[in-house]
Amino acid sequence: MAQIIVILVVVAILIIVRNIRIVQQAKAYVIERLGAYKTTWNVGIHLKIPFIERVAKIVSLKEQVADFPPQPVITKDNVTMQIDTVVYFQITDPRLYTYGIEQPMLAIENLSTTTLRNIIGDLELDQCLTSRDHINSKMRSILDEATDPWGIKVNRVELKNILPPKEIQSAMEKQMKAERERREAILRAEGEKRAAILEAEGEKESAILRADAKKQQQILEAEGQAEAILKVQQATAEGIKLINEACPSDAVIKLKALESFAAAANGQSTKIIIPSEIQGLAGLAAGVIESATKQEK
């Protein structure tokens, strides 16, 4: 009898130990009692009633990533493209996630495919290539609203790749090359224009500086000539003033005039007209010189 009690105690301890559950961080256990939802276990230690309760589903509460394969979509201008999407989602209600829908990942994939086709169908090719943010935000809003009854929150949706047909890619590359060549030609023309403008401005400034220099030279030469003439006139006036102050006699004046004509005679002139007064004075001077010569003899 004692052995049976010991065996029962050991079996009871084993059953209790096997029904102890420790829920880890970022996980949740969905518990059913007799086939019906009972509760959700969060982080901590829990005891399950043997043979009555069971763990229906272990749910991860971390943010998860679903990378779906490329899907064919048709744009508004009838271009077929391959687009693959990446969905970032998180389970917020383990109960709804467990009982809300069968195969929730397949449901999200199909929902993202149909939503993407509806959005792309309203856009042209160029808009699809340049409006990724708009497409991402619109898809996230639609998917988040649709998956809310399933206990899933869609945080982000990203278009991973957009692959147009090869002929479209070739045409786009040619268009891009032509656009780059056009920009290069414009930049080169603008550079040449700027260089020509700078060269013309340089020549203009150089001509202005040369004209200013020549003008300053002429002004300085004219000022020098005017100053020289003024000096000569001042010297002449000063000489006349001194002569007037000395009160010279007529004989002295006539003698000075004779000296001036003598100096003029040493020049290049071939004909000199001498006034009669100076001729008489010259004759008188010659007579005096002759008489002095005779006396010396």
Could you tell me how far CA 66 lies from the centroid of its own chain? 39
Beta carbons within 10 angstroms of residue 243's beta carbon = 13
CATH superfamily for 63-164 is Band 7 domain (3.30.479.30)
**Where does residue 128 rank: exposed (0-12), middle (13-18), buried (19+ CB within 10 A)?**
buried
Q: Are 56 and 30 in contact (CB under 8 A)?
A: yes
DSSP three-state, residue 295: helix
**pLDDT for residue 288:** 45
| Tens of pLDDT, residue by residue, the chain (297 residues) | 778 888 888 888 888 888 888 888 989 999 999 888 999 999 989 888 888 889 989 999 999 999 888 888 888 888 888 888 899 999 999 999 999 888 888 999 999 989 998 998 888 888 888 888 888 999 999 999 999 999 999 999 998 888 887 777 777 777 777 888 888 888 888 888 888 898 888 888 888 888 888 888 888 888 888 888 888 788 777 767 776 666 665 655 655 655 555 555 555 555 555 555 555 555 554 554 555 555 555
Distances (CA, A) of 187 to 2, 231, 248: 102, 65, 89
**pLDDT for residue 295:** 53
What one-character-per-residue DSSP string does 145-200 give? Answer: HHHGGGTEEEEEEEEEEEE--HHHHHHHHHHHHHHHHHHHHHHHHHHHHHHHHHHH
**pLDDT for residue 154:** 92
Q: Hey, what are 107's tokens?
A: 């449901």
Phi, psi (rounded to 5 degrees) for 83: -130, 130
With vertex at residue 191, the alpha carbon angle to CA 189 and CA 192, rounded to the nearest 5 degrees, is 65
